[in-house]
Amino acid sequence: MSCCCTTENVFENSLHYSSPAHGGWGVLKMGHLIPESYTLFVSPAACGRHGALAARMENRKNRVSYLFLSEDDIVSGGYEDLLIQSVEKLIKHLEKCHNVPKVLTLFVSCIDDLLGTDHDALIRELSKIYPHIRFIFCHMNPTSTDTGVPPAVNIQNKNYSLLDVAKERDGGVNIIGNLAPLRSNGELFQILSDMEVSKIRHISDYDTFAGYQEMARSCLNLVVTPTGKYASSQMEKKHGIPYEMALTSFQTECVKETYEKIAKKLGKLCPQVLTYETKAVEALKKVAETLNGMPVIIDGEAIVRPFDLAKALLQSGINVQCVFEQKLIPSDKENYQWVMEHYPDMTILQPQNPKVTVLEKFQGECLSIGYSAAYITGAKHVVDIAGQHGLYGYQGIIDLAEMMEKAAKETADLKKLLDEAVIVV
Amino acid sequence: MEQLWITLPALAPDYSGVCSAMFDLGGICVIHDASGCTGNYTGYDEPRWYGSSSKIFCSGLREIDAVLGRDDKLIDNVIKAGELIDPTMYTVIGSPVPMVIGSDMKGIAYEIEEKTGVPSFGFDTNGLGLYNKGVSMAMCELIRRFAKKKEEKISRGINILGTTPLDLSANSNADDLNEKVESFGFQIVGRMMMGAKIQQIEDLAKAEINLVVTESGMEAAKLLKRKFGIPYVVGMPVGNEMDVWEALEQTLQDKADRVVCNEGEDGDILIVGEQVLANSIRRSILNKNPQAKVCVGSMFGLNKQIAGKGDLNIPGEESLVELLYSGKYKVLVGDPLMEDLLSEKCNVRMVKLPHVALSSKLYWDEAVHFLREEMDQLIEEIIK
C-alpha cells in the first residue's frame, strides 16, 4: 500500500466511494426492531429499492410496503390525502392477511425535509381513524448526516419514543445503542446481576409491543454505542430514566472503569473483575503470538471506535498498520490522538475517499478486521464482523481475539461473506 | 392505487440506468445524492460492481448544501477526484433532492467541462423514472457528443444497441450475443453499452445496420437513423430461433427498419419483463405452437412502437395483481419475485425469468442465458 495521509488531511471532504463492502443495517431494519411494527415507506420509488430488497433477503419484506410519490405529489408538496388513502388500503390488506400491526412506522426520505410536510397533523388524523394502531414518522434522510441528529441517531430515538411512561420502576437496566444484542456469554450479565440488577433489557428481546413496554420500567440506561446517547437523553426527559455512557471498549482498563462507573451509578459496589481481566489480557497476548507480526487493518465500519481497538491491539504488541475511518467520532478522539502520538506513521484512510480506488492492493499476509478495509486492501485474512457483532466487555475482547486467530489461519472468501451479510447503504 | 406497492420492491431507477451505461467508458460518474441512491446502484443495480475499477461516486450531498445550493462544492470535489484518476469524461447524475432544489445538472456538467476541458455530461434524473430511460438518455447523449459522420462503411458492420446488465445480467449473455452476431458474418462496430469504448461510439456511423436488443436501445436507434441513415432491427435473438437473423439480412438488403414482433393475443400466457426479450419469448412460443395465446406486459412503460396489438402497459403492482387474478392467464413468465403475488386462488403457474431491474442480486446469479439451450428449455417449460 503506497498511500500515507498526514493527520491534517486525513478526514477530508470529498466525493464518496461506495465499495461493495460498504454499508450496514440501514434505518429500515433498525426501525424493524420495534416489535409488531409495520412500515409504510413514503418516498420517490428509487429511495425504497435497496431497503425492500434487503428486507426480502432477510425475510422482513412482509413488514414493509411502499407508497411511491409522483412528481405531482412532490411539486404540490402535499401527499396527505394520498397517504391516508394508502394507509386505508394497506390496513385492509393486512387485515386480510391477519397481520394488523400494533405500530405503523411511516418512513420518509431526504426530500421530505425540504417539503415541510405536517407530520403531527397526519399522525393526529390517522390516530383518530385507527385508534388501535400507533403511528410514528421515521426518517431515512442521509442528507442530515452532518447534523446533530443524523439518521442512525434519530431512528434509535424513534425506536424508544413509543414507550409509555411506566407507573412503577423496577431494578432492571436497559442496554441502548447496539442493534444486534450483546453476546450472551459476556460477563456484563453476571456483573450486573452481582450489582443486583433484576433484569437486563434490550429491544431485540421482545416479540410483542406490550412486552417491549417493559423497558420503560428500568431504572438505568446503559449506552453501549454513541448513537444511543440522544435516545437515552430523551428517555431521561420523558421517563426520568438516567443513563450512563458505557461504550464498548477493547482496552481492559477502560472496561474496568466502565464497570466501576455503572456500579457507582447504581449505588453498588463493583464486583471483582480481575479474573475476567486476566483472561482478556491472556487472549490478546495469545493472538499477538499467533499473528507474529502479521499486519492488521481495522475497519471503522466493523468497529464503532476503531482507534480504541487500535490502541488496545498496539499496546498488546499487535502490528496494527492501518485504520479505516471515514470521520472521527468525538468519543474516539482521545484514542486517535494516542495512536498518532505513539505511532505517527500509522496509515489512516477514509474508506469512502476516492483515493482508495487507486490504492495498490496490500502485498503479502495481512488481516483485516471488517469487510470494507478487506475489500479495499485485498487482505487475505478477514475477521467476519459487522456492526461490532455484539462484542462487549472482557469477553468481547476474548471473542474478538479468537475471531482474529481463526481468521489468521484461513483465506477468506470475501464475496461470500458479503453475500451472506446483506448490507445496505 | 398504482403508487402503493405492497409486495414488490421498487424497480431499478433512471440514475442506475445512466451509471450502468457509463460503466465501461473510463469516466468519473457522480450521483448527486447523500448516499442511498448511490447505494442502490452499487449495491443492488450493478452486478459488475464487485471487483470493478469503474469510478462511480456519490456527491455526499448534505442538507446545508441543498439549502444553500452549493453546486461549487460538488464541482470542486469532482475536479479533485479527477486529478487523482484522469478520467475520459465526467458525468453528473441527478437524484430526488437535486430535483426538489432545482439543481441544473447540465449546467454543472458545463462548468466542469469549462474548468477541466474534459467532456462532461449532466443528467436530470430524479429517481422517479426507470432504468431503461436512464440507459436510453445516456446512449443518446453519448451519440450526440461523440459519434462522427463517416464516409467509409464496414461491410456487414453492425452496432448492438441496448445491452445493459439490468436486463442481460452479468452472466455471459452479452458475450454470447457478440459471438452469435459474429458467427452470422457481421462485424461489430459498437457495443452499446456493455463493452463500450469511446472510440467505438465515434465509429458508430461506420455500421451498415443496428440491432436493438432491449427497449433501452430504441431511441438511440432512431437517433442513429436520423443522423447517419442507419436502419435498424429490433429483436433479441433467443435460443436457436432464426427470425432476428433473417430480419437483419432483409434489412441489409432493403434498408427498411424492422421490429421482430408478433401480434399478441390476450390470454393463457402472460410474459412480464423487458419488452424486446418478452417479444422474443413470445415469438419462440408461437414458432412452436402457433395457436398459443400469448400477451406481453411491461412494468417499465410499454413502448408502443415495438409492441404487439393488445400488449399491456402495467403501471404498478395493483394492475399486475388484477391481471393475475382476472382468470385470463394460466401461466405467468416473469421475475421470481412476482411469485409473491400469486396464490392458489388465481391458479396461475409461474415460470421464472429473473430480471435484475426487479429482483437485483436476489436472482442475478440465476439469470437465464438467452442464447443457450436453457432458453429453449424455458420455452418448453412455458408451453408444457
In CATH terms, B268-383 corresponds, of 3.40.50.1980, 3.30.230.70, 3.40.50.11270, 3.90.1150.10, to 3.40.50.1980
Q: Which of A196, A238, A195, A192 shows the shortest CA–CA distance to A215?
A: A238
Q: Is A6 on the interface with B (CB under 8 A)?
A: no
Q: Does A327 touch chain B (CB under 8 A)?
A: no
Domains in chain B: boundaries? 14-129, 147-259, 268-383
Say whether residue A43 is in contact with chain B using an 8 A CB cutoff. Answer: yes
- Residue A49: its chain B contacts at CB < 8 A? 9-13, 40, 44-45, 360
**Residue-by-residue pLDDT tens, chain B, 384 positions:** 899 999 999 999 999 999 999 999 999 999 999 999 999 999 999 999 999 999 999 999 999 999 999 999 999 999 999 999 999 999 999 999 999 999 999 999 999 999 999 999 999 999 999 999 999 999 999 999 999 999 999 999 999 999 999 999 999 999 999 999 999 999 999 999 999 999 999 999 999 999 999 999 999 999 999 999 999 999 999 988 899 999 999 999 999 999 999 888 888 999 999 999 999 999 999 999 999 999 999 999 999 999 999 999 999 999 999 999 999 999 999 999 999 999 999 999 999 999 999 999 999 999 999 999 999 999 999 998
Contact of A53 with chain B, judged by CB distance below 8 Å, is answered with yes
How does pLDDT run across A39-81, given as a tens digit for each residue? 999 999 999 999 999 999 999 999 999 999 999 998 887 788 9
For B67, which residue in chain A has the nearest alpha carbon? A114
Asked if A424 and B43 count as a contact pair (C-beta separation under 8 A), the reply is: yes
Q: Which three cell numbers stand for residue A403?
A: 475471531
Residues of chain A with Cβ-Cβ distance to B34 below 8 Å are 110, 141-143, 145
Spatial CA neighbour of B108 closest among B92, B130, B124: B92
The answer to whether residue A101 neighbours chain B at the CB level (below 8 Å) is no
Domains, in order of start, for chain A: 7-17+291-421 (3.40.50), 35-161 (3.40.50.1980), 173-266 (3.40.50.1980)
Interchain contact, A65 vs B5, CB within 8 Å? yes
Nearest-10 Cα torsion for A286, A292, A294, A295: 70
- Fold for B147-259, please state it: Rossmann fold (3.40.50)
Residues of B in contact with A71 (CB under 8 A): 126, 128
In terms of residues, how long is chain B?
A: 384
**Is there a common fold for B147-259 and B268-383?**
yes
Give the CATH number of domain B14-129. Answer: 3.40.50.1980
Residue A326 touches partner B, C-beta closer than 8 Å: no
Residues 6+ apart with CB under 8 A from A116: A77
Q: Tell me A24's DSSP state.
A: B
Which of B302, B33, B225, B236 lies closest to A44 in space, CA to CA? Answer: B33
pLDDT (tens digit per residue) in A327-353: 999 999 999 999 999 999 999 999 999
Do the Cβ atoms of A15 and B6 come within 8 Å?
no
Burial of A292 from C-beta contacts in 10 A (0-12 / 13-18 / 19+):
exposed
Q: Please, what sign has the CA dihedral across residues B193, B194, B199, B203?
A: negative
Kindly list the strands in the beta sheet with B55-58, ordered across the sheet, starting from the edge strand earlier in the chain.
A16-17, B55-58, B28-31, B90-93, B120-123
Q: What residues contact residue A17 under an 8 Å CB cut-off, 6+ apart?
A: A351, A352, A353, A354, A356, A357, B57, B58
